[in-house]
Amino acid sequence: MHANVGDHLMVEGHTVGEARREGEVMEVRGDDGSPPYVVRWTDGHEGLVWPGPDAHVEPPR
Number of residues that make up the chain? 61
CB neighbour burial string for 38-49, b if at least 16 within 10 angstroms, e if fewer: bbeeeeeeeeeb
Instruction: State the average pLDDT over residues 30-49.
Output: 97
| Distance, CA of 57 to CA of 23 (rounded, Å) | 10
Q: How many CB atoms lie within 10 A of CB 12?
A: 13
Top-confidence residue, 10 or 19: 10
Query: Is residue 16 predicted with pLDDT exceeding 90?
Result: no
Confidence (pTM): 0.89
Residue-level pLDDT at 15: 80
Query: Is residue 3 predicted with pLDDT exceeding 90?
Result: yes
Pairing of strands 37-41, 21-28: antiparallel
Q: What's the half-sphere exposure (Cβ side, CA atoms, 13 Å) at 19?
A: 4
